[in-house]
Each structure stands twice: as C-alpha cells, then as structure tokens.
Amino acid sequence: MKIANFILLIAVLANISALKAQDYSNVKYVPCDHKDSEQLDREAGNSKLFIELAETSKQLCSFSLQRKVMVHVPLRDVNLHDANLRLSNFSSSDAENVKLLRSYLEETSFKRANLKSANFNEAKLNNADLSEANLVGALFSMANLDGANLSKAVFGCSDDKPSKCTDITQASFYGPSCSYNHQQKDVVCNDEKLVFTNLKGAKNIKSLVYDYSDHLNFPSTLISLRKYLRESGFEIEAREITYVIQKGLDEEDLFDLSKVSTLEILGAYARKFAFDYTVQYGASPSNALVIMLYTLIIFSFVYFSTLMIQVFCKLKFVGDVFLISPKITIPDILDVQEYEDGIFKIQSLLRIIHKYRDMQPPYGPDRQLELKYYFYICRHAVWFSILSSFHFGWRDLNVGSWLARLQPTLFTYKPTKMFRILSGIQSLVCIYLLAIFVISYFGNPWG
C-alpha cells in the first residue's frame, strides 16, 4: 500500500506543471504541491505567511491557522483544501470560488463573507458561523453542518452558470454537538446533545439541490431539520425545505428516463405541473392566485377577440354569448304590484354592433358611438371571464355567487358552442387553482 502511494506521489510531482495549467472547476480535489512536515510546521499559525500566499500563489493546501482573526482577508480563488482553520475569524472576507474541500472549519466564522461558488465538499463545519454569507453556487456535498449558523445566508444559482446551484448532496444538518477542546486540542462531540443547522431567515432555500442520479444522495437530515424549524415557528423556511424534498423526488424520476417506466415519468410531470408550477409544493401558495389572475386576463382577451371575429365573419361553429335578464327592469318593478316570475329576455352581446352596422346615419358612421359599443362588449367579456373563473365553488367557498350579488342589475350569461367550451375549461382550471391555494396556504399536504 505504501509503495502504491509513493508511485502515485511521484506521478503527481512529475506532472505538476501540467496540472497547474488545467481547469479544475469540475474536479473534486484540486492538485496542490506536496508539503513535508518541516514546511507544515513553518506554516502553522503564521498569519503573515497565510496572507502572502493567499495574494500570490493562492496555494494553501493543508495550511494550519487556528484561532486567528483574519477579517477582510481576500481569499478569492485560493486553494485551501485539507486546511485546519478551526476557531479562526474570516468575517466579511472576499472568498469567492475558494476551495475548502475536506477542511476543518469547526467554529470558524465566515459571517457576511462572499462565498459565492465556494467548495466546502466534505468539510467539517460543526458550529461554524456562515450567517449573512453569500452562498450562491456553493458546494456542500457530504459536508457536516451540524450546529452551523446559516441564518440570513443567501443561497441560489450562479448567474454565469444557472445550472450551478447551492449543492447539499449527502450533507448533514442534524447531529451531535461538537466543540473544540483546548486541553485535548481536538474536537470533542457529545452524542447525547443533538444540534440542528440554523437556517432561520435564510434566503432562497428553494434553490438548494443535490445529485439526483441516486436517491441515496438525498440529505435525509433535511426532514428532521424541517420539523425543528416548524416547531420553532419558522414556517416559511420549513415550507421551502419541503419544496427541496418534493422537487428532488420529481427530478430523481426524470434524471434518467431509461431507468423508469412511462407511468412514473408521466406521474413526475403531472406532479410538477399540478404542484410545482402552481404553489411550489406549498412554498409559494400565492403563485396559484397569480396564475388565476393571468388566466382571467388571457381568457378576457380571447372572449373579446372571438366576439370581434363574430362581428365580421359570423362563423357558425364559434357560437355566441347571450345575456339573460328579466323583462321587468328595476325601475319598472317600483311601479308594479306583482309580476309573473320566469319571464326573461335573451339577447346576444353582439346585438348592438349588428344594429349599429345596419344603420345608415345621414352624416356617415358615428365613430364615437362605435367605440362605445366596442367598450360595451369588452366590459362584458371581462365580467364573463371573471364569472367563469369562479363559476364552480369549493365547499362553502363560492366566489362566483358572491360576485353575482354585486351586480347592479339581475342578469346572467349563457355561452354556446366554442364559448361554452372555453368557459368550462377556465372554470375547471380556476377552481383547481383556488382549491390548491387554500389547501397549501392553510395546511401542509406535503408534510
């Protein structure tokens, strides 16, 4: 085994110049010069040497710098894998794209630091302080975040690489409490005391991802963390973790389509359309109302445009929208002691336009009156779209009947042919959006 390691070391040293010229952005471990024990002893605790190398060679592999205050020290693109930075303070440092793979960062502070695209894979971050840090595109694969403070931290995807988001593959968010013991000069863990990662106030938790190629890559401690946040009163953060969990289940099914059945693929897409694109699995219930508003506006335009087409083309298969109202108007009712119920008049919404087009004014067409008639149809198209959106009620929630009682006069619509089909589709879509909003806003159907 030792001979094999020695041969591997010789191969690395022989190709070191070529390795430095390569792009290691997608490589798990970044090559670094071999350091002997004498060099490691010289570097240990040397703050000035640390700053000098960080600005020049940027190669600080296996560097030991414990209990040092290094606020605002630039660490951009610095290679610090296997480094020991326990109890050090790097608050407000510019550490974009820093490589801290397998590093020992227990109780280390990166508060308000710029850690965009930083690599923390397999790092020990027990009780570390990353509050208010920029963690957009950072990698935490197999990292230990037990007890770490990520409150008000910002997650997300890189602007230059939208597919590169904050990665938490097999990361740990819940485990025994660990702290540095000054007498033993090592980290000691208390298995009886369990701690959680602090995600209170963290932004864009929904962007967290993991390797969807295998379900074993799922960070199972997220479920315990979600329960802890919910019991602590941080419902927003708990809902966003639910979105990460549910989205992961869909992406796992869609990652390799050759390994799943057609039914599972259809089920995954159905879940995405029904729950992800609408309310994001409860993380954004108001999205359903926004979609409903867009649906109302789009169908209003469709109804108005189709009615205008009927004015000029009179297509039989398109149909019409009829306005049904009592023959006795409200002013007449005041003068009538009694009248026969059930007597209604049915008129097409286009009757005014047709009547106007048949008229021959002595001085030419009245454009102002024509615009007034077009506005009349537009107004009815919008109101017809609103009533179609809430035509169906859900349990005791029937918005359509409430809106009908707000009308100054008693009337209703009767669509035919294509208008009836479009109105039915709109009603079904909107009742679903309304129901999913109520369920996800007042409950937790996904845990």
Last residue of a domain, one of 218, 242, 268: 218
Residue 42 has pLDDT above 50, yes or no: yes
Residue 154 has pLDDT above 90, yes or no: yes
| pLDDT of 54 over the 70 cut | yes
Based on the domain organization, do 83 and 207 belong to the same domain? yes
- For the segment 74-90, what is each residue's pLDDT rounded down to a tens digit? 999 999 999 999 999 99
Residue range 208-245, pLDDT digits in tens: 999 998 888 999 899 999 999 999 999 999 999 999 99
- 213 and 64 share one domain: yes
In a domain? residue 405: yes
Residues 92 and 195 in one domain: yes
Structure tokens given for 338: 């009694």
Q: In what order do the strands lie in the sheet with 412-415?
A: 344-348, 321-326, 412-415
Q: Determine the pLDDT at residue 6.
A: 44
Count up the domains in the chain and report the number.
Answer: 2
Query: Distance between alpha carbon 68 and the CA centroid of its chain, in Å?
Result: 38
436 and 338 inside one domain: yes
Q: Does the structure show a pLDDT above 70 at 319?
A: yes
pLDDT of residue 2: 42
3 state DSSP class of 187? strand
Q: Which of 8-12, 19-23, 228-232 has the lowest mean pLDDT?
A: 19-23
Evaluate whether 378 touches 304 at the Cβ level (below 8 Å): yes
pLDDT score at 20: 37
- Both 148 and 294 in one domain: the answer is no
In a domain, 11, yes or no: no
Which one is predicted more confidently, 326 or 142? 142
Mean pLDDT over the full length of the chain: 82
Instruction: Look at the block and give the residue holding tokens 């197999």.
Output: 142
> Which of 218, 236, 263 is the C-terminal boundary of a domain?
218
Domain end among 218, 235, 254 = 218
250-307 pLDDT, tens per residue?
998 888 887 788 888 898 899 999 999 999 999 999 999 999 999 999 999 999 999 8
Asked if residue 8 is part of any domain, the answer here is: no
pLDDT of residue 287: 95
Q: Does residue 294 sit in the same domain as residue 164?
A: no
Q: Give the range of the structural domain holding residue 371, as residue numbers without chain letter.
A: 289-442
Q: Name the pLDDT band for 34 (thresholds 50, 70, 90).
A: low
Q: Within this chain, do residues 69 and 211 fall inside the same structural domain, yes or no?
A: yes
Q: What angle do CA 361, 362, 366 make, to 5 degrees?
A: 40
User: Does residue 299 share a domain with residue 214?
Assistant: no
Would you state the pLDDT for residue 16? Answer: 34
The pLDDT score that the predictor gives to residue 302 is: 94
